[in-house]
């Protein structure tokens, strides 16, 4: 029968625990005989402790363990040293400037740095656990609260001082002081006014205008209906003259989609008295929608040819391209605005006008 017992402590199994007799006390702290200096008696620890029946082993009784641990710690630190030199050598010796070279350099530098840190950490850990004695100290926890006397003295002095300042006794001075500081407090807010322009109506318009050519993004080439004749086609469009203007593109990006005859059925829709969607704005079953999602503005870029759904990858708002980009799933509150299309004299696709409603996310003044 074993004297040992696995004890299920609050945080998991503790080490094997002796059952016979009371647990032996922890050894005294090096040198000092007292717990704390907080004025209380050192009642927690360090005072008289009855020695157990057997002699408690001294530290020097098991030197082999300590010297073993010392060797291990020394090895850890030595390896860390070598790795540290390795880091410097790799930094000096390994060039970067291409993907492959960066891979080699990162691997060498990172590996050596990891070994340095692990070596130092392991060495320190073993030092603490195996070399340092296992000493404990007990402190008294005093309530943080100040004694009543102190509190009263504080209150009295504060009251006396406040009275001396006559801050309370002279309301004219106090109130005019407050008055004087009010603009001062407002100034840090006021000077932030020039952080940016006021929006006015800029959110309601894009750079699309009558006769502006649709260019294919990337190649910046205009496109005719004949070039975009394959049903199921989709391409990203940018406005002519603004191909490098990120601010313009952030509202003016357009998705161009080609349908088979009969598939495209954009309903005629009004927002109040404004026309916002109609088949008249399509050319040869080619329809153009704003690529800026009406949820929070991500480019709504996924187009599934078979279902003719446009899916935004950010939050999965889904629009039906065949019926005027109506919302069929997801958080987008409104269909994608439709860009009125027509053809110019050379046959290229151009916009008839700007979008007739604000593109992108909803905002308070949108209407």
By CB under 8 A, what part of segment 301-340 binds other proteins?
301-307, 309, 311, 313-318, 327, 329-334
By CB under 8 A, what part of segment 238-297 binds other proteins?
238, 244, 246-247, 249-251, 253, 257-258, 291-292, 295-297
Our CA angle for 232, 238, 243, nearest 5°, is: 150
When asked if residue 195 is in the footprint of other proteins (CB under 8 A), the reply is yes
CB-based burial of residue 182 (10 Å sphere; 0-12 exposed, 13-18 middle, 19+ buried)?
Answer: exposed
CB atoms near residue 310 (< 10 Å): 24
Residue closer to other proteins by CB (options 266, 286) is 286
CA distances from 54 to 4, 51, 161 (A): 19, 8, 66
Q: How far is the CB of 184 from other proteins (least distance, A)?
A: 21
Q: Read out DSSP for 76-131?
A: HHHHHHHHHHHHHHHHHH---SSHHHHHHHHHHHHHHHHHHHHHHHHHHHHIIIII
CA–CA separation, 106 vs 36, rounded Å?
Answer: 50
CB contact set of 259 (below 8 Å; sequence gap of 6+): 231, 232, 285, 286, 287, 308, 321, 322
Site string for other proteins, 62-81 (x = CB under 8 A): x--x----------------
Q: How far is the CB of 72 from other proteins (least distance, A)?
A: 14
Number of residues that bind other proteins (CB under 8 A): 145
Residue closer to other proteins by CB (options 107, 177) is 107
Pick the piece of the chain touching other proteins (CB under 8 A) from 43-51, 153-161, 169-177, 336-344.
43-51
Q: How far is the CB of 74 from other proteins (least distance, A)?
A: 15
Contact with other proteins (CB under 8 A): which of 146, 176, 202, 274? Answer: 202
Q: How far is the CB of 178 from other proteins (least distance, A)?
A: 27
Residue 204 tokens read as: 């309601």
Q: How far is the CB of 215 from other proteins (least distance, A)?
A: 12
Pick the piece of the chain touching other proteins (CB under 8 A) from 97-105, 148-156, 207-215, 336-344.
97-105
Contact with other proteins (CB under 8 A): which of 69, 236, 323, 344? Answer: 236
By CB under 8 A, what part of segment 135-174 binds other proteins?
135-141, 143-144
| Measured torsion, CA atoms of residues 308, 314, 316, 319, in degrees rounded to the nearest 10 | -40
């Amino acid at each position: 029968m074993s004297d040992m017992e696995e004890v299920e402590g609050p945080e998991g199994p503790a080490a094997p625990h002796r059952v016979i007799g009371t647990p032996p006390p922890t050894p005294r702290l090096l040198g000092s005989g007292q717990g704390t200096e907080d004025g209380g008696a050192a009642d927690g620890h360090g005072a008289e402790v009855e020695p157990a029946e057997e002699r408690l082993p001294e530290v020097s009784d098991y030197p082999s363990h300590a010297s073993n641990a010392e060797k291990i710690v020394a090895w850890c630190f030595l390896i860390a040293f070598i790795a540290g030199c390795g880091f410097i050598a790799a930094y000096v010796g390994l060039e970067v400037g291409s993907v492959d070279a960066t891979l080699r350099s990162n691997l060498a530098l990172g590996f050596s740095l990891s070994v340095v840190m692990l070596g130092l950490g392991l060495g320190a850990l073993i030092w603490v656990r195996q070399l340092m004695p296992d000493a404990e100290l007990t402190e008294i926890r005093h309530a943080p609260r100040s004694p009543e006397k102190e509190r009263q003295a504080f209150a009295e002095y504060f009251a006396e001082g406040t009275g001396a300042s006559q801050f309370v006794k002279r309301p004219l001075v106090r109130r005019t002081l407050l008055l004087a500081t009010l603009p001062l407090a407002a100034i840090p807010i006021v000077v932030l006014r020039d952080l940016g322009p006021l929006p006015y109506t800029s959110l309601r318009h894009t750079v699309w205008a009558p006769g502006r050519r649709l260019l294919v993004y990337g190649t910046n080439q205009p496109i005719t209906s004949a070039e975009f004749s394959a049903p199921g086609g989709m391409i990203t469009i940018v406005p002519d003259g603004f191909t490098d203007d990120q601010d313009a593109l952030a509202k003016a990006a357009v998705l161009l989609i080609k349908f088979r005859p009969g598939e495209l059925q954009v309903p005629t829709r009004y927002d109040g008295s404004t026309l916002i969607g109609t088949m008249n704005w399509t050319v040869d079953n080619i329809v153009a929608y704003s690529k800026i999602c009406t949820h929070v503005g991500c480019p709504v870029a996924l187009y599934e040819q078979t279902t003719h759904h446009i899916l935004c990858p950010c939050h999965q708002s889904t629009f039906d391209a065949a019926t005027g980009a109506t919302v069929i799933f997801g958080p987008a509150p409104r269909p994608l605005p439709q860009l009125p299309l027509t053809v110019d004299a050379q046959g290229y696709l151009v916009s008839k006008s700007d979008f007739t409603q604000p593109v992108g996310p909803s905002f308070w003044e949108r209407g």
